[in-house]
Chain A
Amino acid sequence: AQSVTQLGSHVSVSEGALVLLRCNYSSSVPPYLFWYVQYPNQGLQLLLKYTSAATLVKGINGFEAEFKKSETSFHLTKPSAHMSDAAEYFCAVAGQGAQKLVFGQGTRLTINP
């Protein structure tokens, strides 16, 4: 079985500061890992995904995430926050061959001017 824990339901950073959103996973098989972003009253959009290739994954809008098997983590980072990054972010996991994703509870990112 797979599960995801996102540490911090709400993260606030200043514009231009580092963004770090934390995600830890549990999986009995090698995982596929995803980060999605949701803007208010909209659906989710894929930011990036890890599928057992490179451990450092680059996504859209300057985001990246690093898969660390020893720490069972897949934290999302962006070097310099922009006001347009304000949204809710979801980490998700699927075991290889799985038929469905399991989502974390989400982290709301606020950017302060």
Chain B
Amino acid sequence: DGGITQSPKYLFRKEGQNVTLSCEQNLNHDAMYWYRQDPGQGLRLIYYSQIVNDFQKGDIAEGYSVSREKKESFPLTVTSAQKNPTAFYLCASSKTRQNTGELFFGEGSRLTVL
């Protein structure tokens, strides 16, 4: 079945460590997104990519980095510069570059910094 796979589902990290969250899609979608979700704050956009080898900062990109070397993959690295990394991270994709359609979401990765 087509969809978005995020891994790991749960991740624990010590302060000062970088961590990379995986996002893979087999929907042949052009665009991919990373959102951060905190209680009571909805979803905030971290980075998005509309085409391979290109990506743009979202509203809260500081302390995060991404790459888009393949159409189906869009990994997110949470660096030690991110001051409050504990959150639920959601990866999504859309068929076209323009958001006139539906976003498809993965099941999320919950990061806890100890």
Residues of A within 8 A of B (CB): 9, 32, 34, 36, 41-46, 49, 51, 90, 94, 96-101, 103-106
B25 contacts partner chain A, Cβ-Cβ < 8 Å:
no
Q: Give the contacting residue for A41; candidates B42, B44, B105, B110; CB below 8 A.
A: B110
Q: Does B53 contact A (CB under 8 A)?
A: no
The distance from the CB of A1 to the nearest CB of chain B, in whole angstroms, is: 12
B26-63 vs A, Cβ < 8 Å mask (1 yes, 0 no):
00000101010000111111001010000010100000
Given known A-B contacts A9-B40, A42-B107, A105-B41, A49 and B99 have beta carbons under 8 A apart: no
**From B42, B97, B101, B102, contact of A99 by CB (8 A):** B97
A100–B48 CB distance below 8 A: yes
A37: shortest Cβ distance to chain B, in Å? 11
Q: A9-B40, A90-B43 are in contact. Are A99 and B99 (CB under 8 A)?
A: yes
Write the B76-103 contact mask toward A (1 if CB under 8 angstroms, else 0).
Answer: 0000000000000010100001111111
Question: Cβ of B50 and Cβ of A99 under 8 Å apart?
Answer: yes
| B99 x A43 contact (CB < 8 A) | no
Q: Smallest CB-CB separation from B43: which chain A residue?
A: A103
Known: A101-B103, A105-B42. 17 other contacts (CB 8 A): A9-B40, A32-B100, A36-B103, A43-B90, A43-B106, A43-B107, A44-B43, A44-B90, A44-B103, A45-B105, A90-B42, A98-B99, A99-B31, A99-B48, A99-B50, A99-B99, A101-B99
What is the bound-complex CA distance between A106 and B92, given in angstroms? 18
Smallest beta-carbon distance B82→chain A, Å? 20
B60 nearest CB across to chain A (Å) = 13
B108 within 8 A of A: yes
Given known A90-B42, A103-B43, A104-B42, contact A42–B108 (CB-CB < 8 A)? yes
For the complex, give the distance between the alpha carbons of A96 and B44 in Å: 20
Assembly CA distance A34 to B105 (angstroms): 14
